[in-house]
Chains A and B, each alone.
Chain A
Amino acid sequence: MMDDLFGVLALVVGATLVVGVWHALRSPTRAEAMMAVQIAGTAAAGSLLLAGPSTIGMAATLDLVIVVAALAAVTAISFVAFGWEPSVPPGAPVREVSDDGR
């Protein structure tokens, strides 16, 4: 019965992942799209903690959560480092460009 509860809760957290990512990606600015990685990392860690121990055991779940946390950090940093539109396209005259380039 505990397994059932934790399964449902993992489903809930997974649903917040999907909804959050979808909403973050729908917005026109890249800043919000970058949040999607953060959402995914934290929610995936939460789902893992809820659904993992009954499937692969506590020790493996722990290691996996730490690895997910660490590498999600690396990904988020790289998205912020490289993912923005350039303020001015190199070599072009300055013009108004909306954040997603359209």
Chain B
Amino acid sequence: MTVADLGAAVLAAAGSMFFVAGTLGLVRFPDVYSRLHALTKADNVGLGLIVLATILRAQEAGIGLRLAAAWLLVLFASALASHLIAREALRRGIRPMRRP
């Protein structure tokens, strides 16, 4: 197994762990805002790590650029979606939890 393969494996595993963490946050956090927060951040970091792992697997610069573009697209889309959900939830009176 080459160094690149090892690096890809480690990065992919870490990325998957972030996905698990995001889902854990979704299950355990008390209100919709903190859930959105955990979900969006953790899932996107996880995806970024998986993207890095895929770049290492491919070992080509062109592929790397396109993968980075895909990740940026997901980032923008997730930011937009979570912003829209949170804003509309606020407007509808779902109040953030203030004390544990």
Contacts and interface: CB of A to CB of B under 8 A. Distances in A.
Query: Are A and B subunits of one complex?
Result: yes
Interface of A: 1-2, 5-6, 9, 12-13, 16, 19-20, 23-24, 27, 29, 31-32, 34-35, 37-39, 41-43, 45-46, 49-50, 53, 58-59, 62, 65-66, 69-70, 72-73, 76-77, 80, 84, 87, 99
A97 B52 CA distance: 47
Query: Which of A23, A34, A87, A99 is the most central at the interface, judged by chain B CB atoms within 10 Å of its CB?
Result: A34
Interface in B33-71: 35-36, 39-40, 43-44, 46-47, 50-51, 53-54, 57-58, 63, 66-67, 69-70
Nearest to B33: A31
A59 B60 CA distance: 11
A41 B74 contact: yes
Given A5-B9, A39-B26, A31 B85 contact: yes
Nearest to B83: A80
